[in-house]
Amino acid sequence: MRVGLLTGGGDCPGLNAVIRAVVRKGIEAHGWETVGFRNGWLGPIEGLTKPIGLDDVEDILTRGGTILGSSRTNPYKVDGGVDRIRETLAEHGVDALIAIGGEDTLGVAKRLTDDGIGVVGVPKTIDNDLGATDYTFGFDTAVHIATESIDRLRTTAESHHRALVVEVMGRHAGWIALHSGLAGGANVILVPERQFSVDQVVEWVERRFERQYAPIIVVAEGALPEGGQEKLLTGEKDAFGHVRLGGIGTWLAEEIAQRTGKESRAVVLGHTQRGGTPTAYDRVLATRFGLHAVDAVQDGDFGVMVALRGTDIVRVKLSEATAELKTVPLERYQEAEVFFG
Ligand code: F6P
């Protein structure tokens, strides 16, 4: 059997661990030939391949990013995209595909399966917001990086008696903010799921200063103040069609400085959260996802995604995988509130 492999969407620590596991098990256990497609769905559309044999995956377990490259190309938005994928697969004798990606990549995987192309999905996102799996690899690494940054920022904030606003990733879900905020002992955590009152934030900040400590405020990039959407979403789109966010961290640090008269600084962690080597947890989860994706292909079980439920890897329908975004429930957020202020 010849199996194609691709990575789509934003990169994420652990992608290479999945690729390695698929190649190792596919070749060693089942005698597959594996074909890498470069740059997400663009690869099979344009016939961009990369050889991925045993030697190619030898040293990639610890490496961040993806050796296959990634893109956000959607074949359903490209003229003749799906037919071109069919032609490429026929030309390279590829029987099935394993697509590693987030909501968009998996949505395409589902439609392609409906259109007769055999695809198995592997979930990835640092945001941990895919409903059908308990965790996605990349999340633990992102939380680890954000937590380490919070720890470091705390000592400089304390030295200068400043408020430090740490902006983390998470447009629609506040998992990274919640977990890194809890782990780093943040004094305020703000998530997209719950609009916040600036007055309340200022109260928490002032209480912290009164106790002679420097407040650390962790804010997800998608968090918004009550009634503040217009102020923070610029409405502009970049060249790739993404809506630009206005920079909630910087805005909030300025508000805090103005209202409290205390010095404030904002640090936007940005893509540092997505780069570099995955944690041990993410390496293991990514590896297990890869191994189980091979089993699904071998069983001819297409249109599914591998997922973590408890400690088990299961298969779920791709339709279920992309149906619902997993956001932070109110009660999880409220657990953290005892540490605010
Ligand atoms: O991977 C998800 C994510 O990290 C979001 O939290 C973030 O908004 C987005 O990707 C940014 O990605 P890019 O800069 O690659 O468009």
Average pLDDT over residues 93-110: 96
Domain boundaries, the chain: 2-137+278-322, 139-275
For residue 243, the model assigns a pLDDT of 52
> Rounded distance, CA 229 to CA 234, Å?
9
Residue % of the chain over a pLDDT of 90:
91
Q: What are phi and psi of 195, to 5 degrees?
A: -65, 145
* pLDDT tens digit sequence for 294-316: 999 999 999 999 999 999 999 99
How long is the chain? 341
Domain 139-275 has CATH 3.40.50.460: yes
Please tell me if the domain spanning 2-137+278-322 has the same topology as the one spanning 139-275. yes
Helices (H), the chain: 15-30, 42-46, 81-91, 103-114, 139-160, 175-183, 198-210, 229-232, 248-260, 280-298, 318-321, 330-336
Any ligand 1 atom below 6 A from CB of 322:
no
For residue 299, the model assigns a pLDDT of 98
Ligand 1 centre and the CA of 95: distance in Å? 31
Name the strand (E) or helix (H) holding 123. strand 119-123
Q: What is the CATH number of domain 2-137+278-322?
A: 3.40.50.450
Any ligand 1 atom below 6 A from CB of 242:
yes
Supply the Cα-derived Rg of the chain in whole angstroms. 22
Is residue 65's pLDDT more than 90? yes
* Residue of the CA atom closest to atom 4 of ligand 1: 169
Question: In the structure, what pLDDT confidence band is assigned to residue 323 with cuts at 50, 70 and 90?
Answer: confident
Ligand 1 centre and the CA of 46: distance in Å? 25
Handedness of CA 283, 318, 245, 240 (dihedral sign): positive
* pLDDT tens digit sequence for 166-222: 999 999 999 999 999 999 999 999 999 999 999 999 999 999 999 999 999 999 999
More confident residue, 330 or 235: 330
* Residue of the CA atom closest to atom 12 of ligand 1: 10
For residue 232, the model assigns a pLDDT of 56
Question: In the structure, what pLDDT confidence band is assigned to residue 321 with cuts at 50, 70 and 90?
Answer: confident
Any ligand 1 atom below 6 A from CB of 127:
yes
Could you tell me if 169 and 127 are in contact, meaning their C-beta atoms sit under 8 angstroms apart?
yes
Ligand 1 centre and the CA of 203: distance in Å? 31
To the nearest whole number, what is the mean pLDDT of the chain? 94
